[in-house]
Each structure stands twice: as structure tokens, then as C-alpha cells.
């Protein structure tokens, strides 16, 4: 069974600073996809970034980058130059065998002015 | 472009009542999912459907049934609601694709269900 672990329930970050959100996963599949989603207080789920298990480069999308360490089975999200609008819950997710998409427990980020 | 549409948005049930949460997507996706979200527990997969005509249990299927009516629609039924089923329910859909391909899921707005 695949398992996603996010060990940081909550984090505070100063505006304009970078923050790293941890995510580790467990799977026996050789091919899988890793995703990060943002959930603001309004409740919608917003896709941020994707990393495929065979991708040679770490994924980047604007201020979001993914620090992918395949051997360690970690896929940490880095948000650079934090903004007040980045305050939200962030979820790591993985899609592996059977196309099941599983999520971690999430990390709440609060950006301070 | 509607994306994923869930109905209703809010619902209050009495213990023992039944109801069906409806979900429809207009993106021609093969895979569809139902999740529940509880404080501190993230999104837990209830059921998913990799393609039309197939459904599989997720982490927390007990107390729920699903129907993949056609490619567009995936409904979630609570036969006899219990207070433990008070939660926010999300439906999502994605392309099937190969496992390593980018196939992000698109989510509905959620249904806030309270069972009293």
C-alpha cells in the first residue's frame, strides 16, 4: 500500500522568505507521480506542481519548486519569496499502481507580514 | 468550463437517513475519486474509479457505496448515515494516463455534510 507522510502540521514563515514543506512517500511501484496541492481557507483544492518518478530534473512552477530525492523517497515543496496569499494548507499526493491518488495529512502554512 | 461539479454543497442528515452525493465532470476524464476531509487527517480516499464500469475501495470505504453511472458521473451513497460520517466530501477526476505521466486531479468545490 502506498503511504504519504507530511510530518509538519504547521509552519510559520516571514513574508518574502522561502519555506520548505516536507513529504516522504512509500511505494514499491517503479513508476509513479507526485503532486502538491494548495487548499486556502475557502476550501478549494488548487494543483501546484507535478514530479514524475522518471523525471531527471526537479520540477519548477513559478515560485514553487520540488526537491525530489528518489532514493530517499522524498518530494519536498519549496515556496520561494512567500506572500501573504500563500497562507493555506498544503498537501502532498502520490499516484501509483491502480491509478489510486493518495494524500498526506497536510501542512498548514501561515505567512507573517 | 464547469470542470467538476458536486451537489449538494451543504447537507444536514439525521442519523440513519440515506443520501446520495452527486458528481459530474465535463473533461472526458477516465478516473474519478471520492474523498473525505477531516481536521488533521488530510484527504482520505473513500472509493475511486479508474475507468467507466470499474470501482475500487480506497482507505475508508465502510458505510459508503458508489456508482460510476457513465464516464461523466460518479455518485457516492450513504445508506444509513452516522455522526462519524460528518465531514467535507470532495469529488475529483483526472486523466488515466500512464502512472508516471502528469495527470493532476481536478476537484469539485466540496460538500459539507453534517450528521446529527
Question: What average pLDDT does range B90-107 have in this prediction?
Answer: 82
CB A93 within 8 A of CB A34: yes
Residue with cell 439525521: B14
Q: Which of A44, A50, A97 sits opposite B99 (nearest CB)?
A: A97
The 10s digit of each residue's pLDDT in A69-94 is: 999 999 999 999 999 999 999 999 99
Provide the pLDDT for residue B88: 97
Chain B residues near residue A99 by CB distance under 8 angstroms: 31, 48, 50, 96, 99
Minimal CA separation from A31 to chain B, in Å: 5
Confidence grade of residue B100 (pLDDT, cut at 50, 70, 90): low
CB B8 within 8 A of CB B80: no
CB A95 within 8 A of CB A32: yes
Provide the pLDDT for residue A100: 86
Confidence grade of residue B98 (pLDDT, cut at 50, 70, 90): low
Confidence grade of residue B39 (pLDDT, cut at 50, 70, 90): confident
Q: 10 Å Cβ neighbour count for A75?
A: 27
Question: What average pLDDT does range B29-33 have in this prediction?
Answer: 93
Q: Supply angle C-alpha A51, A55, A59, rounded to 5.
A: 45
Q: What is the Cα–Cα distance from A54 to A88, expressed in whole angstroms?
A: 29
- CB distance A52–B100 less than 8 Å? yes
The 10s digit of each residue's pLDDT in A56-73 is: 899 999 999 999 999 999
Q: Which of B41, B50, B99 sits opposite A32 (nearest CB)?
A: B99
Provide the pLDDT for residue B97: 63
**DSSP per position, B70-92:** SSSBEEEEESS--GGG-EEEEEE
Nearest chain B residue to A35 by CA: give it. B104
Confidence grade of residue A29 (pLDDT, cut at 50, 70, 90): confident
Q: What is the Cα–Cα distance from A74 to B116, expressed in whole angstroms?
A: 41
Amino acid at each position: 500500500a502506498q503511504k504519504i507522510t507530511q510530518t509538519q502540521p504547521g509552519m510559520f514563515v516571514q513574508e518574502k522568505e522561502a519555506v520548505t514543506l516536507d513529504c516522504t512517500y512509500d511505494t514499491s511501484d517503479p513508476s509513479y507521480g507526485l503532486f502538491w496541492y494548495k487548499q486556502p481557507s475557502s476550501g478549494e483544492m488548487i494543483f501546484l506542481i507535478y514530479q514524475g518518478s522518471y523525471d531527471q530534473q526537479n520540477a519548477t512552477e513559478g515560485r514553487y519548486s520540488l526537491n525530489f530525492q528518489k532514493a530517499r523517497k522524498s518530494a519536498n515543496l519549496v515556496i520561494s519569496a512567500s506572500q501573504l496569499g500563500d497562507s493555506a494548507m498544503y498537501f502532498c499526493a502520490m499516484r501509483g499502481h491502480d491509478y489510486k491518488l493518495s494524500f498526506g495529512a497536510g501542512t498548514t502554512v501561515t505567512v507573517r507580514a | 468550463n464547469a470542470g467538476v461539479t458536486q451537489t449538494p454543497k451543504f447537507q444536514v442528515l439525521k442519523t440513519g437517513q440515506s443520501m446520495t452525493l452527486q458528481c459530474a465532470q465535463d473533461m472526458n476524464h477516465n478516473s474519478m475519486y471520492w474523498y473525505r476531509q477531516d481536521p488533521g487527517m488530510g484527504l482520505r480516499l473513500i472509493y475511486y474509479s479508474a475507468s467507466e464500469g470499474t470501482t475500487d475501495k480506497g482507505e475508508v470505504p465502510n458505510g459508503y457505496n458508489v456508482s460510476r453511472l457513465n464516464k461523466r458521473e460518479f455518485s457516492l451513497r450513504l445508506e444509513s448515515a452516522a455522526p462519524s460520517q460528518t465531514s467535507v466530501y470532495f469529488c475529483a477526476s483526472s486523466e488515466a494516463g500512464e502512472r508516471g505521466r502528469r495527470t493532476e486531479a481536478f476537484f469539485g468545490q466540496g460538500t459539507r455534510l453534517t450528521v446529527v
